[in-house]
């Protein structure tokens, strides 16, 4: 079986390859193909991944290519994880939003909108090629904004498409660790949209263990829930996706990000540039072990500063220094023990290949499971994968607070997909105006004009 990673030159690819190697035998994997349009980065990151394969005893063949047709031909599963415009594009997305007085974040609000302008056409093109050369293959989309891109693919008829995101399963993994049980023993009820979801209950052998978990402040302090006030958690009474921080603490998030010397995009750009420079030097000197150690240090520092302005235990980017995996903050260590988006994709593959049922939260069409949403709305929801099918699980009615927020953001998503597919500036303005973090025609119009100008190289004229 062949598994292809589109965006294989990305800095997270070694984590993906490492996770995949640990499951290669169970899923019958024979080849991992890394594809990227940036051949320079692909060579460096691919070289690092090859060291991982060799260290694992070469259980699979690792291939690299810049040719999408070659990468997709013969693939049974494809993971899309691309960043059109690379890190400089992210920097523009964030800075333009901040200059207009709204949140600058790569997936939420205007930043996510700008990324969608570039992401959707690119991923759609890969999906069309895949349909030609490997009909019947599955696409697991991790390209951000993941739910919105998946909505576009589904709207265009690519039915074997699933949106994946590791943050959707935060409650399942954290509570499994807290109770010392296998995550697959738990039955969480996740509902919402990508980066806008809640977990209403978590069943263990039929008993809801979530209320007890939410009352345990020591436990919550070791998870991503530590960014929310206890009073807010008590009032809502659910596990909160960490990206809800940008809605529940909107003005604080904006002030904190504007007060930073660098945006997150600028910090990642700096980290990645230095990483690639050093990797080039070490691989040129034929020092693969030092290259792997360097990469582990990079990942530790990047993880330690994730949402640092919101987390009480996180160092600032300036204070992070040469942080190592051994002294990561507690919450970051918890995340490091998981497999990230690779784990979500591999869980699905394992279920489809072996027939063993897997329970996980995914971005799939609603199919009537959340009563207030349309059947074809891509939602983030608990699913079971068994007997070759991916089925969302029933949710029914949801509280009014969550319903209103979901419907507002879904309207924004629908309009954004329409705008991109029709290349309509007018619809793009209405899309951004619909977003709860914008809600202004004049601001939406400025943002759209500036994003269209900034990214004309990738999206063309509208």
Confidence of residue 332 (pLDDT cuts 50, 70, 90): very low
Range of weakest confidence among 96-100, 292-296, 436-440 = 292-296
28-58 pLDDT, tens digit each: 999 999 999 999 999 999 999 999 999 999 9
Q: Are 358 and 166 in contact (CB under 8 A)?
A: no
Question: In sequence order, what are the residues at sequence separation of 6 or more whose Cβ sits closer than 8 angstroms to the Cβ of residue 22?
Answer: none
Confidence of residue 182 (pLDDT cuts 50, 70, 90): very high
The pLDDT assigned to 455 comes to 97
The pLDDT assigned to 456 comes to 97
Closest C-alpha to 377, from 248, 171, 192: 192
The pLDDT assigned to 316 comes to 65
pTM: 0.94
Q: Which has more confidence, 288 or 437?
A: 437
273-287 pLDDT, tens digit each: 999 999 999 988 999
Indicate the helix (H) or strand (E) that contains 163. Answer: strand 161-163
Rounded Cα gap, residues 422 and 419, in angstroms: 5
Indicate the helix (H) or strand (E) that contains 453. Answer: helix 441-454
Mean pLDDT of 384-393: 95
Rounded Cα gap, residues 365 and 336, in angstroms: 30
The pLDDT assigned to 319 comes to 67
The pLDDT assigned to 304 comes to 84
Residue 80 has pLDDT above 60, yes or no: yes
Range of weakest confidence among 138-147, 177-186, 252-261, 320-329 = 320-329
The percentage of the chain sitting over the pLDDT mark of 90, rounded to a whole number, equals: 88
The percentage of the chain sitting over the pLDDT mark of 70, rounded to a whole number, equals: 95
Rounded Cα gap, residues 122 and 19, in angstroms: 26
- Is residue 105 classed exposed, middle or buried when 0-12, 13-18 and 19+ CB atoms within 10 A define those classes? buried
Residue 335 has pLDDT above 60, yes or no: no
DSSP 227: G
Residue 201 has pLDDT above 90, yes or no: yes
Mean pLDDT of 239-265: 95
* Mean pLDDT taken over the chain: 93
The pLDDT assigned to 46 comes to 96
Mean pLDDT of 307-315: 77
Q: Which has more confidence, 169 or 308?
A: 169
Rounded Cα gap, residues 10 and 44, in angstroms: 10
83-103 pLDDT, tens digit each: 999 999 999 999 999 999 999
The pLDDT assigned to 336 comes to 40
The pLDDT assigned to 324 comes to 52
Which residues, listed in sequence order, are joined to residue 140 by a DSSP beta bridge? Answer: 79, 162
Rounded Cα gap, residues 347 and 336, in angstroms: 17
DSSP 168: G
């Amino acid at each position: 079986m062949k598994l292809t990673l589109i965006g294989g030159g990305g800095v997270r690819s070694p984590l993906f390859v490492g996770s995949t190697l640990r499951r290669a035998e169970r899923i019958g994997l024979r080849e991992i193909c890394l594809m990227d349009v940036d051949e320079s980065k692909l060579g460096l990151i691919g070289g690092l991944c090859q060291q991982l394969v060799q260290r694992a005893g070469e259980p699979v063949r690792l291939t690299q290519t810049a040719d999408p047709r070659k990468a997709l031909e013969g693939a049974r599963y494809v993971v899309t994880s691309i960043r059109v415009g690379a890190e400089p594009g992210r920097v523009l997305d964030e800075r333009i939003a901040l200059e207009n007085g709204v949140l600058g974040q790569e997936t939420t609000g205007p930043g996510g909108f700008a990324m969608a302008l570039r992401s959707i056409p690119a991923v759609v093109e890969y999906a069309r090629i895949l349909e030609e050369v490997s009909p019947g293959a599955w696409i697991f989309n991790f390209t951000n904004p993941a739910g919105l891109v998946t909505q576009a693919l589904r709207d265009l008829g690519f039915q074997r498409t699933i949106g994946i995101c590791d943050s959707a399963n935060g409650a399942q993994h954290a509570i499994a660790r807290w109770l010392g049980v296998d995550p697959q023993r738990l039955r969480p009820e996740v509902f919402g949209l990508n980066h806008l979801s809640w977990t209403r209950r978590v069943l263990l052998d039929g008993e809801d263990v979530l209320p007890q978990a939410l009352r345990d402040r020591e436990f919550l302090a070791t998870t991503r829930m530590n960014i929310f006030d206890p009073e807010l958690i008590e009032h809502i009474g659910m596990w909160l996706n960490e990206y809800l921080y940008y809605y529940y603490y909107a003005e604080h998030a904006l002030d904190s990000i504007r007060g930073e010397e660098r945006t997150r995009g600028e910090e990642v750009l700096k980290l990645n540039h230095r990483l690639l420079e050093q990797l080039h030097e070490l691989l040129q000197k034929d020092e693969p072990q030092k290259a792997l150690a360097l990469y582990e240090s990079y990942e530790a520092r990047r993880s330690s500063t994730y949402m640092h302005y919101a987390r009480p235990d996180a160092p600032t980017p300036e204070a992070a220094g040469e942080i190592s995996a051994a002294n990561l903050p507690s919450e970051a260590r918890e995340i490091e023990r998981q497999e990230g988006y690779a784990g979500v994709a591999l869980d699905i593959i394992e279920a489809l290949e072996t027939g063993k049922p897997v329970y996980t939260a995914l971005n799939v069409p609603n199919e009537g499971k959340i009563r207030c949403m349309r059947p074809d709305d891509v939602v983030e929801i608990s699913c079971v994968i068994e007997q070759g099918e991916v089925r969302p699980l029933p949710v029914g009615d949801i509280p009014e607070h969550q319903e209103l927020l979901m419907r507002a953001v879904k309207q924004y998503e629908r309009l954004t997909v329409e705008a991109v597919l029709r290349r309509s500036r007018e619809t793009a303005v209405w899309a951004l105006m619909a977003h709860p973090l914008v809600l202004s025609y004049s601001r939406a119009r400025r943002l759209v004009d500036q994003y269209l100008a900034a990214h004309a190289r990738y999206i063309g004229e509208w």
